[in-house]
Amino acid sequence: MTVADVTTQDRYPTRRGTGSAFLERTDPVVWPGVSSGPATAAELGEHDRDGFHVVPGLLSPAEVQDYWRELERLTRDPEVRADERTVVEKHSGEVRSLFEVHRTSGPIARLVRDPRVLDRARQILGSDVYVHQSRINYMPGFKGTGFYWHSDFETWHAEDGMPAPRAVSMSIALTDNHPFNGGLMVMPGAHRTYVSCAGRTPGDNYKSSLREQKVGVPAEEDITRLGYEHGIEQFTGSAGSALWFDSNTMHGSGNNITPFPRSNIFIVFNSVHNRPVAPFAARRPRPEFIAARDTAALAR
Ligand code: 6CS
Ligand code: FE
C-alpha cells in the first residue's frame, strides 16, 4: 500500500446505492500526540468512552452577552441575510444558520484561536488543527426546526472528502439549553459504529440538506438498534457551557415550539493530518463556506 492509498482509500463507504450497514470505526477518538492543554484526563476519558463531554461555563456571562450582541448584529444585517452563507428556515423564512462566521465575525475569529478552545481541540485530535466548518445556529423560539438523527462525519466524508473521523465539534450555548427548547440529543458510545447509509447524493444536495437532511440519515431500524443499545442523553446547561462531540456521534434535535430560542456557536476542528480529498460519494465538493479548503493550521 502506498502513502496515497492510505489517505484516499475508502474505509467508510456510504451512499453507494445499496442498503445501510453498520461498520466498526477503525480510528481512535482521542488521538495521542498533544500532552498538555485545558482538558483533564477525566474529560478526555469521558470523551473517548461516550463520544462527547461538556465544559460548563466555558464562556463567562459577560462573554456570552458579547457574543449574543454579535449574533443579533449579524442576524439583523440585511447584507448578511442576503448572503449565500445564510440559511433560512424552510417554512418561516427565519434565519436558521450563518456559515463561515470564523471569517465574517471578528469575535468568533478570536474565539477559535482562544487557548480554552484551540488547545482543547488540539488535545483531542493529537495534532495541529484548522476550522473545517463554522456556523451560528439561531434556532429561534416557536419557529426553530430540529435536525434529524445523523452523524456529521458521514456527510463530511461523502460530500467533503474528509478521509477519517479525526474531527471534533464544539457547540457553545448562547442561550440556556432546557430539556424543552429543542436541545441536542446524543447516543453515548454510538460514535464507535459507523452507519453506512443507503441512497446516493443528489447534485447540489447542500441547498436542501442544510434545512432538512434527507440523504445520509440512517434508516429507522438503524436508529432503533443504536437507541436501544446506547440510550439517549440530552445536552442541557446554562448559556456559556460547551459541548464537545466526536465527528461520528449520532445526534439530532427536535423542533423548538417554546418561546425560548436555543442559539449556539458551532465550530468544527479537523486535524491537519486529515485534510479533505475528493468527495467519497458526491460529484463535486461543497462550497468553501461549508467545507473549508484553506487547511492551514490555526495559530494563536
Ligand atoms: O452538512 C453539514 O455539514 C452538517 N449539517 C447537516 C444538516 N448534517 C450533516 C452535518 O451535521
Ligand atoms: Fe450535526
156 Cα nearest atom in ligand 1: 3
d(Cα 208, Cα 159) in Å, to the nearest integer? Answer: 14
Q: Is the pLDDT of residue 1 over 70?
A: no
For the CA of 96, the nearest ligand:
1
Whether 9 is in a domain gets the answer: no
Task: Tell me the β-bridge partners of 133.
Answer: 268
Q: Average pLDDT of the chain?
A: 94
Residues having C-beta closer than 5 Å to ion ligand 2? 152
**Averaged pLDDT for residues 136-164:** 94
- Domain with residue 262: its CATH number is 2.60.120.620
Measured by CA distance, the residue closest to atom 8 of ligand 1 is 152
d(Cα 215, Cα 96) in Å, to the nearest integer? Answer: 20
The total of structural domains in the chain comes to: 1
Whether 255 is in a domain gets the answer: yes
For the CA of 135, the nearest ligand:
1
| pLDDT tens column, 86-113 | 999 888 888 889 999 999 999 999 999 9
For the CA of 154, the nearest ligand:
1
Q: Is the pLDDT of residue 40 over 70?
A: yes
Q: Which domain holds residue 215?
A: 49-271
Whether 16 is in a domain gets the answer: no
Measured by CA distance, the residue closest to atom 5 of ligand 1 is 210
In this structure, the residues whose C-beta lies within 6 A of any atom of ligand 1 are: 133, 147, 150, 152, 155, 209-210, 213
Task: Tell me the β-bridge partners of 266.
Answer: 135, 171
| Grid cell listed for 286 | 461543497
| pLDDT tens column, 206-218 | 999 988 989 999 9
Comparing C-alpha atoms, which of 170, 177, 153, 158 is closest to residue 238?
177
Whether 282 is in a domain gets the answer: no
Question: Residue for cell digits 418561546?
Answer: 259
Whether 43 is in a domain gets the answer: no
- The phi and psi torsions of 116 (rounded to 5 degrees) equal -60, -25
206 Cα nearest atom in ligand 1: 1
Task: Tell me the β-bridge partners of 55.
Answer: 242
Q: For residue 156, how far is its CA from the centre of ligand 1 (angstroms)?
A: 8
pTM: 0.95
Whether 289 is in a domain gets the answer: no
Whether 245 is in a domain gets the answer: yes
Whether 28 is in a domain gets the answer: no
Residue 181: predicted pLDDT: 93
147 Cα nearest atom in ligand 1: 7
155 Cα nearest atom in ligand 1: 9
- Give the pLDDT band of residue 189 (cuts 50, 70, 90): very high
Q: Which of 85, 208, 213 to mutate to test the pocket of ligand 1 (most atoms within 8 A of CB)?
A: 213
